[in-house]
Amino acid sequence: MKIGNFDTDNKVLIIAEIGNNHEGDFGLALEMIDAAAEAGTNAVKFQTITPDRLVRPSYNNRLAQLEKFSFKPDQFAKLKERADKNHILFLSTPFDLEVLEWLDDLVPAFKISSGDNNFWPLIQKVALKAKPVLLSLGLGEIKQAIKLKSFIENAWSNCAVEDPGLAFLHCVVSYPTPEDQASLSNIYSIKQLQVTPGYSDHTIGTKAAELSVACGARIIEKHFTLDKHYSDFRDHQLSADPKDLENLCSAVRHVEKLLGSSVSIMQECEKGNKESVRRSISTKCDMVVGQIVTFDDLCWLRPGDGLAPGLEDSVVGKKLAVPVVQGMPLLPEHFDY
């Protein structure tokens, strides 16, 4: 799956989810982009929220908090410029239909949150933008994932849009997520849907995110903060700080190295050992010129510098042209054809 110039088939995409951890401080948001890039991430992600299009008017405290945290379109444009300067992707999750129109100019892909994975009008409008879609599957079941895949692909097909790429991110909507409910094995189920599998992590620490790569995740999203004790805003405590993020990036690259390619080939380091551990078709006893070799005359001994097991028909029933001694590998030149 290609997102901008990044191909998740070649490398795991690590996203620092800044979200609202900037708490409306634009200077801090810029600083967080720099820190995320320095830690080794491939992308930063924000949330694009119009407060009165997300919660009811009676939720006064929540509305006030969201108003404080919100950035304007021109500020998002500057955040994208900062990400570009750091050579990382800029992403943001839209939380209403209207912001899609200007956010579309800033992002190479759209992320849909778990809370909105049944917000069909938003999902449809995102799909019609003909960009890669990253969708978190929290609160759902595999049946919901199948429905979502069909819905998005039908939207693309109806508008004659070539499939730009679809990723489903395993996610547990609990802040933080208890380790015994992280359910990383769900990533295996996502792989069966023939979409790009990923993981949006809400556990404490980075171990779950690291292990998700071994389960097949090609996209990892981890909440990020400069200081876990920055304020009493919930997300700081479950986020990775710069050192955590650096360790996560390093660990993911290490896991990638250990996983290697899914294509089964002989590794370079194996080649020098091939002959010593393989066997050759050999003789159990001394044999004389003119003797006909039978299967019972054979044994299979290391090293594998002669005829390989499986080629017994090339020697059984054949007449020896030279004498051979016990344990000697049988070769084509030993026979009178």
Taking residues 167-193, report their average pLDDT. Answer: 96
Phi/psi-derived region of residue 167, left when phi > 0, alpha when psi is between -120 and 50, beta in every other case = beta
Packed helices 26-39 and 242-259: angle between N→C axes, nearest 10 degrees:
30
- Residue 181, pLDDT > 80, answer yes
> Which distant-in-sequence residues (6+ apart) come within 8 Å of 85 by Cβ?
none
pLDDT of residue 264: 79
Residues of the chain above pLDDT 90, percent: 91
Provide the CATH number for the domain formed by 275-334 in this structure. 3.90.1210.10
Architecture of the domain spanning 2-259: Alpha-Beta Barrel (3.20)
Give pTM, 2 decimals. 0.90
pLDDT of residue 272: 93
- Residue 337, pLDDT > 80, answer no
- Residue 39, pLDDT > 90, answer yes
Residue-wise pLDDT for 54-109, tens only, equals 999 999 999 999 999 999 999 999 999 999 999 999 999 999 999 999 999 999 99
The residue extents of the domains of the chain are: 2-259, 275-334
Instruction: Lowest mean pLDDT of 24-28, 31-35, 123-127, 141-145, name the range.
Output: 141-145
pLDDT of residue 186: 96
Residue with tokens 């005359």: 297
Residues of the chain above pLDDT 70, percent: 100
Q: Which tokens belong to 335?
A: 């026979």
Q: Output 199-203 pairs: Cβ under 8 A, ≥24 positions apart.
A: 199/169, 199/170, 199/171, 200/17, 200/114, 200/136, 200/138, 200/169, 200/170, 200/171, 201/177, 202/171, 202/172, 202/173, 202/174, 202/175, 202/176, 202/177, 202/238, 203/176, 203/177, 203/178, 203/179, 203/238
pLDDT of residue 137: 97
| Alpha carbon of residue 222 to chain centroid | 13
- Residue 131, pLDDT > 90, answer yes
CA–CA gap between residue 173 and residue 178 (Å, rounded): 11
| Alpha carbon of residue 236 to chain centroid | 25
SS3 204: coil
Residue-wise pLDDT for 254-310, tens only, equals 999 999 887 778 888 999 999 999 999 999 999 999 999 999 999 999 999 999 999
Query: How many CB atoms are closer than 10 A to CB 258?
Result: 9
Query: How many CB atoms are closer than 10 A to CB 61?
Result: 8
CA–CA gap between residue 286 and residue 73 (Å, rounded): 88
pLDDT of residue 262: 75
pLDDT of residue 81: 98
Residue with tokens 């909507």: 173
CA–CA gap between residue 181 and residue 179 (Å, rounded): 5
Q: How many residues does the chain have?
A: 337
Residue-wise pLDDT for 4-23, tens only, equals 999 999 999 999 999 999 99
Residue-wise pLDDT for 294-324, tens only, equals 999 999 999 999 999 999 999 999 999 999 9
Burial 261-282 (b: 16+ CB within 10 A, else e): eeeeeeeeeeeeeeeeeebbbb
Q: How confident is the model at residue 49 (pLDDT cuts 50, 70, 90)?
A: very high
pLDDT of residue 265: 86
Backbone angles phi, psi at 306, to 5 degrees: -120, -150
pLDDT of residue 261: 81
Query: How many CB atoms are closer than 10 A to CB 150?
Result: 10
